[in-house]
Structure 1
Amino acid sequence: MKFRSTAPGLLARVQKVIDNDDNAVLVIGDHELALPFSRENVPFVFDPTDAISLFYRRRIPVIAKKSPLKALNSVRLALHYTRLERQILAKTACFVTTGTADETFLKALVPDANVCRIGNGTRLIHQPAIQSVDDGRTIGFHGNMTWEPNVEAAEHVAGPIATALTRLPGPQMRIRIAGRPVPAAVQARDGIDGVEVCGFVDDIQAWLASLTLYVMPMYLGAGIKNKLIEAMAAGIPVLTNARGAEDLPEEGRKAIAIARDDTDIARTIRALLAQPEELSRMRRDGRAYALRHFDWADHRQDFHAELRRLRDVKKL
């Protein structure tokens, strides 16, 4: 259970549960909440999903192009969360569920820290592969648009990537972008260069089935994102950039397409959409890779095994 409240008496109530149950393990995913627990020496493990200080460090050069003020704020936040992560990691074990970039970064912050990477997963591996369209013209991206990396990606797909696609030979594109709240820059592109703003969709599998290719460039953050593994698990061909694929091993990288910048993404989209046999291979290989590596049950076993090891060596 992850505690997200700093209500009065929370520390005492948690301590009581731990004292009364030898098997109880407190997992905290909030930096600000983890600090008082560490100060009070209440045993817990830290699961921040990813290294927030690394996120803000990577955000600086991207956001500086748009707003120097936001870039300065990213510097401040990177320093703030670096300090918190150092303090927390010095006291307890840390689990990250994103990828090797976060794991490596956190281990560098506190070389003696116990940082363990637990793989990501999706329930879609337990469902049949989606029968997607193969019309040679429909691509898509989706995400929670309250999360800045998704907004950044959606703006690139609807903006420079869509524009570059119109300048390349091939059929009129259909570029479907789902998620809410719809960013203003994305909404302004609705109906231009084939962009379709879908907003919130009730059935993500039905939406994925409308695509020939899933396009997921990543400009902010790190790690293997849920949307990438969900598309692979559903049997949808996936195209990303180098950062989006940075934590996939070689086998996983071969199951998807990887491009460099926005212009190269557009060229790769056109090339792939003209190769139905290659798209079929990507559907097959991506789905097979997801079945082998993206099962939550396997990762849960790894998590519990590491907790048992920590108990055995008296670190929890």
Structure 2
Amino acid sequence: MNGEILFIAHRLPFPPDRGDKIRSHHILKHLADIAPVHVATFADDEADFAEEASLASMAASYCLRRRTKPLPLAALQALATGRPVSLTAFHDRALADYVAQTLATRSIAAIYVFSGQMGQYVPADFPGRLIVDLVDVDSAKFEAYAAKRRGPMALVEAREARLLGAEEARLAARADVTLLISAAETELFRSRLPAGSPAEVRVLGNGIDSAGFDPVLVSPEPRMLACTGPRLIFTGQMDYAPNIDAARRVIERVLPRIRAIRPEASFHIVGRNPTPELLARHGRDGCHVWGRVDDVRPWLAAADCALIPLEIGRGVQNKVLEAMSMALPVVLSREAATGIAAQDGEHFAVADTDAALAESVLTLLDDTARARRLGEAARRFVVENVSWDAALAPLAEFIQAKGGAQRHAA
């Protein structure tokens, strides 16, 4: 393409060890194959800064800022300005200055915005192509939070849903193309846009490294194997509300049903930043909370079943694809299965109630041959249908498309 690319992301795309970072990592790699890429992004912690060399090796230039604004301060600023908390939490003057300087000094032909809260950095007069990757519909997620909350927090979540929805619609009207992770998310987003919106909304799905997530490449984690009964696993970022709620659902409502029949069964939560509430469950009633691990694959290899009962699920769940790629039988809720074109009963087992989830797990634990067939079929599905090269094949078209009216009104 003629010109360079500016990539603006809410989290450093290294290391690719959680859902949003995995997606942004592979997108950045593909963009770097198209043209020089300049990156503006945030680090969450010192571990992210340890990955700065990886960013430097891929980016033509970059600005990596530590996100330190406390959420209560972001909330106060949001209330004072009438903006969503999500935007004020990710506003940083130095990052804005880097974006302005890069646009002034480099031949930026396209801006790729990864996550809606970063659209605030795009100037109204940018003349090139604008691609906004919302991934999923965050405003709908906050609506779901509000429906589950009581008291003041319900009002806070409802406010965020309303204001973020307006920002998503503004970005979609402003962008040349708005991307979401699945057909279901795309249709949901279109249904929430104002009548007559000029937004071009397309799907850019997720993939998975099935060659890396292969059970033959790793040995099961010994610490998990020390639990000698059936081992169930849930992976993910464990300070993320839907993951917390899903883990609590297993601990409080599903695992007791399973242990009433199989008292030796254990539930393993693997993922960084578990909350104090979850950590307090470690070692109690068959529950183990392991926190951040260097490589999730040995833990998946040590499990007998992945149990993923999300009640709020947006987009495509990488945790599901990773477990499937590791030939692990997966029992999951309908929300967790959203956006994955696999078949219930053939590639995974979908169950919605606590009793049905427990029954599905027990059935697989009792019928190891069926569990093995389900896991093998799951891996075949991933290998044959889900890869990053296939998922991101449309990316060059989105970045380099020519012709047609561009929508760059503020």
TM-score, normalised with respect to structure 1? 0.87
Which ranges in structure 1 are unaligned for 5 or more consecutive residues?
none
User: Does the Cα contact within 8 Å between 1:38 and 1:88 map onto a contact in 2?
Assistant: no
Residue type of the alignment partner of 1:85: E
Q: Cα offset for 1:38?
A: 5.4
Tell whether 2:248 aligns with 1:162. no
Partner residue, 2:170: 87
Cα distance change of structure 1 residues 201 and 108 upon mapping to structure 2, 3 Å threshold: same
**Percent of aligned pairs with the same amino acid:** 21
Q: Cα offset for 1:6?
A: 4.5
Partner residue, 2:111: 26
Per-residue CA distance 1:135-155 (angstroms, 9 max, x = gap): 771111111112221111121
Match for 2:294 among 202, 211, 220? 202
Q: Equivalents in 1 of 2:296, 2:206: separation in Å?
A: 19
User: Does the Cα contact within 8 Å between 2:210 and 2:383 map onto a contact in 1?
Assistant: no
Partner residue, 1:245: 337
Partner residue, 1:218: 310
Q: Cα offset for 1:36?
A: 5.2
Partner residue, 1:103: 186
Partner residue, 2:273: 181
Per-residue CA distance 1:56-107 (angstroms, 9 max, x = gap): 1122223x2xx4322211100000101101111111111122x233211221
Per-residue CA distance 1:215-253 (angstroms, 9 max, x = gap): 111112312111111111121111101111132225477
Match for 1:152 among 245, 270, 281? 245
For 1:52-91, what aligned pairs fall within 5 Å after superposition?
Answer: 52-62=138-148, 64=149, 67-91=150-174
Residue type of the alignment partner of 1:96: L
Partner residue, 1:15: 103
Question: Taking CA–CA contacts closer than 8 Å with sequence separation of 6 or more, which of the two structures ends up with the larger relative contact order?
Answer: 1
Which ranges in structure 2 are unaligned for 5 or more consecutive residues?
1-6, 9-39, 42-91
Q: Cα offset for 1:314?
A: 4.8
Partner residue, 2:19: none
Residue type of the alignment partner of 1:172: E
Q: Cα offset for 1:17?
A: 5.6
User: Does the Cα contact within 8 Å between 1:245 and 1:253 map onto a contact in 2?
Assistant: no
Residue type of the alignment partner of 1:28: V
SS of corresponding position for 1:39:
coil
Residue type of the alignment partner of 2:286: G
Q: Equivalents in 2 of 1:314, 1:252: separation in Å?
A: 43
Cα distance change of structure 1 residues 42 and 136 upon mapping to structure 2, 3 Å threshold: farther
Tell whether 2:143 aligns with 1:51. no
Choose 111-120 or 224-233, whichever is displaced more.
111-120
Match for 1:272 among 360, 364, 367? 364
Cα distance change of structure 1 residues 91 and 213 upon mapping to structure 2, 3 Å threshold: same
Cα distance change of structure 1 residues 61 and 234 upon mapping to structure 2, 3 Å threshold: same
Residue type of the alignment partner of 1:31: G
Q: Cα offset for 1:126?
A: 4.3
Q: Equivalents in 2 of 1:191, 1:148: separation in Å?
A: 22
Q: Cα offset for 1:127?
A: 4.9
Per-residue CA distance 1:161-208 (angstroms, 9 max, x = gap): 1222222x2351121111232223322322333112222222211111
Cα distance change of structure 1 residues 300 and 6 upon mapping to structure 2, 3 Å threshold: farther
Residue type of the alignment partner of 1:91: R
Q: Equivalents in 1 of 2:117, 2:229: separation in Å?
A: 48
Cα distance change of structure 1 residues 125 and 96 upon mapping to structure 2, 3 Å threshold: farther
Cα distance change of structure 1 residues 200 and 10 upon mapping to structure 2, 3 Å threshold: closer
Residue type of the alignment partner of 2:100: A
Q: Equivalents in 2 of 1:266, 1:252: separation in Å?
A: 16
Q: Cα offset for 1:30?
A: 4.2
User: Does the Cα contact within 8 Å between 1:138 and 1:212 map onto a contact in 2?
Assistant: yes
Tell whether 2:125 aligns with 1:40. yes
Tell whether 2:208 aligns with 1:122. yes
TM-score, normalised with respect to structure 2? 0.68
User: Does the Cα contact within 8 Å between 1:54 and 1:102 map onto a contact in 2?
Assistant: no
Cα distance change of structure 1 residues 32 and 179 upon mapping to structure 2, 3 Å threshold: closer
User: Does the Cα contact within 8 Å between 2:115 and 2:134 map onto a contact in 1?
Assistant: yes
